Structure 1
Amino acid sequence: MSMESEVHRPLADYSANIWEDILTHFSKSELETIDMLKEKHSTLKEAVTESFMASKENQIENIKFIDALCRLGISYHFEIDIIEQLGYAFNSLDFNQLIRHDECDLYTVGLLFQVFRQFGFKLSADVFEKFKGEDGKFKEHLVADASGILSLYEASQWNTRGEDIIDQALAFSSCHLKEILFQSIPQHLAVRIKNALKHPYHKGISRIETRKYISYYEAEEKRDAVLLEFAKIDFNMLQKLHRKELACVTRWYEAMEIKSKVTYTRHRVAEAYLWSIGAYFEPQYSQARVKTAIALIIFTMLDDTYDAYGTMEELEIFTDAIEKYSICKT
């Protein structure tokens, strides 16, 4: 009997990999499809840019446009202009007074609050004071506005410590959103509310949240057809780039023969790549995504070595070797 067979190893019973090989390859036909989309993408971007610049004439509409760009996953094309315009509006006395005016409804104030805080501008929570009654509670008639309550709920996710009114807004909106789900509201709005209650969009993986919002926006009566088409094409082009990157990571994984040489580790290439997508999805970070995914695969192997293979004696030696290793040494 060999020495290896006498060693008791704490092998874990990991579930099988659920991803099919189709996710790890990228065909020439898909590359040709990208080339066909590029010209249309460029034309639509020009049109969206024109609409974005035109929206500057009305600061409220401008920020609503920015919100749509963010949720549709295309704000990265306009980052400099967005920061510029938000900074100008945030420092404008007239704009701050406009937000607090009675004509600015709950939906709008909630949306403005979200956008400003999302980009690092700490709009005061007192913009919601006008929606409270003499008893210090949010007015009950607001419940009739499903979109407004959803906007208030999403705004309350951007609270900071000590903002009591935002804490009240969260309790009020979350309670009533659950009730609104039993009312007669558009199907896409109901789905959006359910998803928001389960997981606020800005806390999710941006590509997944973008895909969801495209379907919500497509069902809206007042949707911008050009903006929607641009968002769809941009999403598809990025998705093809992401698939190409995943194929690259998979080829590295197969070339390293990890499945045959490190048999006890988890086969989680797609999951490792998804982590990198969650960190940054924009096209300019392509190399970073590939390297991050590879690093995560290596970390997974190390983790499994400790949890599902090495004995205590082996791991003490292994740990000592890792602690002594330094890439800075000459």
Structure 2
Amino acid sequence: MHSGSTVMTTFSSKPPQCSSRRSCHVHIGAAAASPPPLIRRCPSVSWRWLEQRRHTRLQCGQSSPQQISNLDEDDSRLSQNAGIFHPSIWGDFFLGYSNPAAASSQQQTQMAERADKLKEQVAEMIASSTFRGQHERLHLIDTLERLCLDHLFEEDISAALSQIEAAGVSDCDIGTVALWFCLLRKHRYRVSPDVFARFKNEEGGFLADNPEDLLSLYNAAYMGVHGETILDEAILFTRRRLETALSNMEESLLAHEIKSALEIPSPRRVRIYESKHYISAYEKDATVHETVLQLAKLNSNIMQLHHQHDLEIITRWWKGLHVESKLPFARDRVVECYLWILGVYYEPCYSRSRIILTMVIAIVTLLDDIYDSYATPEECEILTKCIER
């Protein structure tokens, strides 16, 4: 911590431009070759752990000579604890990496222009779906979300879901009702699980036989909250049926999806990582929309460019801390910290949030390693008092 005045900058958790389906997509044209700094570069931090211990005592709490280790003991502990964790597999990879798919500013501009054209076409598809059946409209929205394209069409999807919710599903089959329930719950609509009551039979099961309907009901049931008994019953029923069906199915896309859902239900997966697998599966789907598929692939590459640029900034900041030489016992896992945050905020407009949160988690990781791998119990107590003050 530096003494003196402290400059604090406030950041909005969601930039205003993200409310538009066109503006959340950040162009990576000519300016992307030398992008403006997303945050001001943090100066290199010198910890001066050993030097400060030569001349000063910790001022927090009552410190006795026995509590303050001398330099020789520090050197011994550093050498003993160094190498506890294996080094980072990434090294300086992101400092000099250039994506071959967009190595030049001209390529990046072409990608952005192509993406804009495809977005216009998909937006027209969403608007024209008004004249289609409920299942087809729901399936299109579900596909866009699973491909991580929904942040490009927030207004369009919101308008479509309002119409879908008003239309109801009183005359739809259980698979369509389950998808309707799942999507509306995901978008915070107050829909009752009683819509499934008419599909229950006398034995307490549900009128669902084919694997597609069972899978849809299984995933939808995980959008329930505490006390919704009918959804708990749906999970038990569909899980037993899906396990039985899976044992008799040949290897196929549906079989793979059922197996994945039984391990981790769709609503509980990390979307940005799941989308990579779903793009490959959607490409083989009989109902594939070629325009949606092309946009999904292109958008995935564009987001990857943004994420790589984030990692370049974070890696440069981390190297400036000289953790490897100053704190050799600590973990070098800054890229893994970033991937953790990426699972929550993957959209390009959240770049600054990802960078800041990654830095915070990396610093917390250093503190954790100081407590677990280096400091003595007495020093841990002193450091804790300093942090509390």
Q: Work out whether the TM-score is over 0.5.
A: yes
Q: Distance in 2 between matches of 1:47 and 1:203?
A: 30
Alpha-carbon spacing, 1:24–1:199, altered in 2? closer, same or farther (3 Å):
farther
**TM-score, structure 2 as length reference:** 0.75
> For this pair of structures, how many residues does the alignment match?
314
Match of 1:110 in 2: 178
Tell me the residue number matched to 1:174: 239
Of all paired residues, the percent bearing the same amino acid is 34
Alignment CA distance shift 1:286-1:47 (3 Å): same
User: How far is the alpha carbon of 1:59 from its aligned partner?
Assistant: 6.0
TM-score by length of 1: 0.88
How many angstroms apart in 1 are the aligned matches of 2:366 and 2:265? 32
In structure 1, give the amino acid aligned to 2:299.
D
Matching residue of 1:214: 279
For residue 26 of structure 1, what is the aligned residue in structure 2?
Answer: 97
Q: Is the 8 A contact 2:126 2:157 kept in 1?
A: no
Q: Distance in 2 between matches of 1:200 and 1:135?
A: 25
Supply the AA of the counterpart residue of 1:121.
Answer: Y
The residue number in structure 2 matching 1:14 is: 85
The answer to whether structure 1 residue 231 and structure 2 residue 299 are counterparts is no
Q: Distance in 1 between matches of 2:375 and 2:237?
A: 52
Q: Secondary structure at the match of 1:2?
A: helix
The code of the aligned residue for 1:55 comes to S
AA in 1 matched with 2:137: N
Distance in 1, Cα, partners of 2:125 & 2:131: 11
Unaligned runs of 5+ in 2: 1-70
3-state SS of 1:267 partner: coil
Q: 1:59 to 1:321 in 2, by over 3 A?
A: farther
> 1:15-47 CA distances to partner (integer Å, 9 max, x unpaired)?
443446445543275342433311211111111
Match of 1:123 among 171, 191, 203: 191
Report which stretch shifted further, 299-308 or 29-38: 29-38
Matching residue within 16, 38, 46 for 2:112 = 38
Tell me which residue corresponds to 2:204: 136
Shift of 1:215: 1.8
1:138/1:70 CA distance change after superposition, 3 Å: same
Among 77, 82, 87, the alignment partner of 2:162 is 87
Q: 1:106 to 1:9 in 2, by over 3 A?
A: farther
How far residue 204 of structure 1 moved from its aligned partner, in angstroms, is 2.3
For structure 1, the residue ranges without an aligned partner over 5 or more in a row are 325-330
Q: CA deviation at 1:285?
A: 0.8
Shift of 1:8: 9.9
1:242-264 per-residue CA deviation (whole Å, 9 max, x = no partner) reads 11111211111112211111111
| 3-state SS of paired residue (2:343) | helix
Deviation, 1:9, is 10
C-alpha contact (below 8 Å) 1:189/1:216 kept by paired residues: no
Structure 1 or 2: more helix by fraction: 1
The 3 A distance-change label for structure 1 pair 117 and 225 is: same
Is the 8 Å Cα contact of residues 206 and 237 (structure 2) preserved in structure 1?
Answer: yes
Cα distance in 2 for residues equivalent to 1:14 and 1:310: 16
- Aligned: 1:292 with 2:357: yes
1:69 aligns with 2:144: yes
User: CA, structure 1 residues 224+5, in 2 after alignment: closer, same or farther (shift >3 Å)?
Assistant: closer
Paired amino acid for 1:198: E
Is the contact between residue 10 and residue 308 of structure 1 (CA under 8 Å) also seen in structure 2? no
Select the structure with the greater relative contact order (CA < 8 A; seq sep ≥ 6): 2
- 2:353 aligned counterpart, secondary structure: helix
